[in-house]
Amino acid sequence: MQGTWGRRVATASVALSLGLTGAACSSRSSPTGDAGGQTASTQFVIARTGDIDLLDPHRATAFQTVQTLGLIYGNLVKADSSGKLHADLATEWSYADAGRTVTFTLRQGVRFHNGDPFTSADVKASITRLQDEKTSAVARSNLSGITGVDTPDDHTLVLHLKAADSALLYALSAVNAAVLDAKDIAADTVGKKPNGTGPFSFGSWQQNRDLTLKASQGYWGGAPKLATVIFRIIPDEPSILAGMRAHSFQMATISDPTVAQQVSGDAVTLVKQPALSYHALMLNGRRAPLDKPAVRQAIACAVDRQQVITTVANGDGKVTGPITSPAFDYSATQGLPCTAGDTAKAGQLLAGAGFGPDHPVKLRAIVETGEYATSVAEGQNLQAQLKAIGIQLTLEQEATDSYVKRWLAADYDAAVALNGGSYSPYTMYGRYFTTGGSLGIPAGLDSPDLSALLNRANQETDDAAQHQLYQQVQEKLLELSPWVWLFRGDDYYLLSPTVHGFVPMPNQSLQYLAETSVG
Amino acid sequence: MTGKEIRSRVGGTLLTLLGVSVVVFIVLRALPGDAITAKLGTESGVLDHAQRQALEHYYGIDQPLLAQYFGWLRAVLSGNLGVSADSGQSVTSMLAAALPVTVELAVLATLLGAPAGVFLGVLAAARPGRPRDIGVQGAALLGLAIPEFVLGSVLVAVLASAFGYFPNAGAFVPLTESVSANLGQMIYPAAVLAVAFAAIVMRTTRSAYLEMARADFVRTAQGKGLAPSRVRLRHVLHNAGIPILTIIGIQFGYLLGGTVIVEQIFALPGVGRLLLNAILNHDYAVVQSTVLVIAAIFVLVNLVVDLLYRVLDPRVRIS
DSSP, residue by residue, A210-244: EEEEEE-TT-TT---S-SEEEEEE---HHHHHHHH
Rounded CA-CA distance B30/A301 in Å is: 41
A91 Cβ partners below 8 Å, 6+ apart?
A105, A106, A107
**Does the beta-carbon distance from A243 to B43 stay under 8 Å?**
no
Low-confidence ranges of chain A (pLDDT < 70): 1-41
Q: What is the pLDDT at residue B311? A: 77
Contacts of B168 in chain A (CB under 8 A): 234, 239, 243
Q: What is the pLDDT at residue A65? A: 92
Q: What is the pLDDT at residue A3? A: 40
Q: What is the pLDDT at residue A456? A: 96
Rounded CA-CA distance A227/A413 in Å is: 52
User: How buried is A161 (Cβ within 10 angstroms: 0-12 exposed, 13-18 middle, 19+ buried)?
Assistant: buried
**Does the beta-carbon distance from B32 to A238 stay under 8 Å?**
no
List residues bridging with A158 in a β-sheet.
A103, A150
Nearest by CB to B277, from A208, A399, A400: name it: A208
**Distance in Å, alpha carbon of A398 to nearest chain B alpha carbon:** 11
Residue whose C-alpha is closest to residue A179's, from A52, A90, A61? A90
Residue range A290-344, pLDDT digits in tens: 999 999 999 999 999 999 999 999 899 999 999 999 889 899 889 998 988 899 9
**Does the beta-carbon distance from B170 to A33 stay under 8 Å?**
yes
**Does the beta-carbon distance from A442 to B164 stay under 8 Å?**
no
List residues bridging with A86 in a β-sheet.
A78
Q: What is the pLDDT at residue A265? A: 80
B37 Cβ partners below 8 Å, 6+ apart?
A401, A404, A405, A408, B44
Contact with chain B for residue A418, Cβ under 8 A:
no
Q: Beta A414-419 vs A361-369: how paired, if at all?
A: parallel
CB B59 within 8 Å of CB B285: no
Contacts of A143 in chain B (CB under 8 A): none
Q: What is the pLDDT at residue B154? A: 92
Nearest by CB to A242, from B86, B112, B160: name it: B160
Residue of B nearest to A50 (CA): B277
A191 Cβ partners below 8 Å, 6+ apart?
A54, A55, A56, A59, B88
List residues bridging with A87 in a β-sheet.
A77
**Would you call the peptide bond into A337 cis, given omega within 30 degrees of 0 as the criterion?**
no
State the count of interchain CB pairs (< 8 A) between A and B: 223
Residues of B (217-236) whose Cβ lies below 8 Å from A: 227-230, 232-233
**Does the beta-carbon distance from A35 to B191 stay under 8 Å?**
no
Rounded CA-CA distance B179/A189 in Å is: 38
Residue of A nearest to B42 (CA): A404
List residues bridging with A319 in a β-sheet.
A487
Rounded CA-CA distance A280/A216 in Å is: 40
Residues of B (129-168) whose Cβ lies below 8 Å from A: 153, 156-157, 159-161, 163-168
In order, the DSSP letters of A435-482 are TT-TTHHHHT---HHHHHHHHHHHH--SHHHHHHHHHHHHHHHHHH-S
Rounded CA-CA distance B165/A171 in Å is: 44
Q: Work out the angle at residue A267's Cα, subtended by the Cα atoms of residues A264 and A270, and round it to the nearest 5 degrees.
A: 55
DSSP run (H or E) holding A160: strand A156-161
Is pTM, for the whole model, over 0.90?
Answer: no
In order, the DSSP letters of A13-47 are HHHHHHHHHHHHHHTPPPTT--TT---TTTEEEEE
* 3-state SS, residue A153: strand
Rounded CA-CA distance A121/A206 in Å is: 33
Q: What is the pLDDT at residue B319? A: 60
**Does the beta-carbon distance from B264 to A4 stay under 8 Å?**
no
DSSP run (H or E) holding A251: strand A251-254
List residues bridging with A85 in a β-sheet.
A79
Contact with chain A for residue B95, Cβ under 8 A:
no
Residue whose C-alpha is closest to residue B164's, from A33, A34, A25, A245? A245
Residue whose C-alpha is closest to residue A209's, from B121, B173, B299, B55? B173
CA distances from A227 to A201, A222, A251, A448 (A): 10, 12, 15, 53
Rounded CA-CA distance B29/B282 in Å is: 9
Nearest by CB to B187, from A12, A20, A35: name it: A20
Sketch the domain layout of chain B as residue ranges.
100-318
- Within 13 Å, how many C-alpha atoms sit on residue B284's CB side? 26
Nearest by CB to A207, from B87, B157, B180: name it: B87
Q: What is the pLDDT at residue B317? A: 64
A39 Cβ partners below 8 Å, 6+ apart?
A30, A32
Rounded CA-CA distance A414/A368 in Å is: 12
Kindly indicate whether the ipTM for this predicted assembly is greater than 0.85, answering yes or no. Answer: no
CB A165 within 8 Å of CB A145: yes
Fold of B100-318: MetI-like fold (1.10.3720)
Between A30-39, A171-180, B10-19, B286-295, the lowest mean confidence (pLDDT) is in A30-39
Residue of B nearest to A47 (CA): B169
CA distances from A53 to A43, A59, A206, A240, A401 (A): 23, 10, 11, 20, 17
DSSP run (H or E) holding A488: strand A483-495
Please give, one letter per residue, the 3-state secondary structure of A329-391. Answer: CCCCCECECCCCCCHHHHHHHHHHCCCECCECEEEEEEEEECCCCCHHHHHHHHHHHHHCCCE
Nearest by CB to B157, from A53, A232, A242: name it: A242
Rounded CA-CA distance A497/A249 in Å is: 11
Phi-psi region of A77 (alpha: psi -120 to 50; beta: other; left: phi over 0): beta
Mean pLDDT taken over chain B: 88
CB B53 within 8 Å of CB B36: no
Residues, chain A? 519
Q: Provide the pLDDT confidence category of residue B182 given band limits of 50, 70 and 90.
A: very high
**Does the beta-carbon distance from A239 to B31 stay under 8 Å?**
no
Residues of B (266-295) whose Cβ lies below 8 Å from A: 266-267, 269, 273-274, 277, 280-282
Q: What is the pLDDT at residue B318? A: 60
Contacts of B267 in chain A (CB under 8 A): 232-236, 239
Contact with chain A for residue B32, Cβ under 8 A:
yes
Rounded CA-CA distance B288/A41 in Å is: 44
CA distances from B314 to B307, B309, B318, B319 (A): 11, 8, 6, 9
Residue range B186-228, pLDDT digits in tens: 999 999 999 999 999 999 999 999 999 888 988 898 888 888 8
Rounded CA-CA distance B174/A33 in Å is: 16
Taking the alpha carbons at both ends of chain B, their separation in whole angstroms is 11
Residue of A nearest to B37 (CA): A401
CB A474 within 8 Å of CB A312: no
Please indicate whether residue A415 or residue B317 has the higher confidence score (pLDDT): A415
CA A132 to chain centre: 24
Rounded CA-CA distance B190/B112 in Å is: 8
Residue range B68-116, pLDDT digits in tens: 999 899 988 888 888 888 777 889 999 998 999 999 999 999 999 999 9
Q: Provide the pLDDT confidence category of residue B1 given band limits of 50, 70 and 90.
A: low
In order, the DSSP letters of A256-287 are -HHHHTT--SSS-EEEEEE-S-EEEEEE-TTS
Taking the alpha carbons at both ends of chain A, their separation in whole angstroms is 61
What is the dihedral sign for C-alpha A404, A405, A408, A410?
A: negative
Strand boundaries in A24-130, DSSP class E = 43-48, 77-79, 85-87, 90-96, 101-106
Q: Taking 50 as the threshold, does the pLDDT of residue B15 lie above it?
A: yes
Nearest-Å Rg of the Cα atoms of chain A is: 26
Contact with chain A for residue B173, Cβ under 8 A:
yes
List residues bridging with A270 in a β-sheet.
A494
Strand boundaries in chain B, DSSP class E = none
Residue to mutate among B165, B273, B275, with most A CBs inside 10 A, is: B165
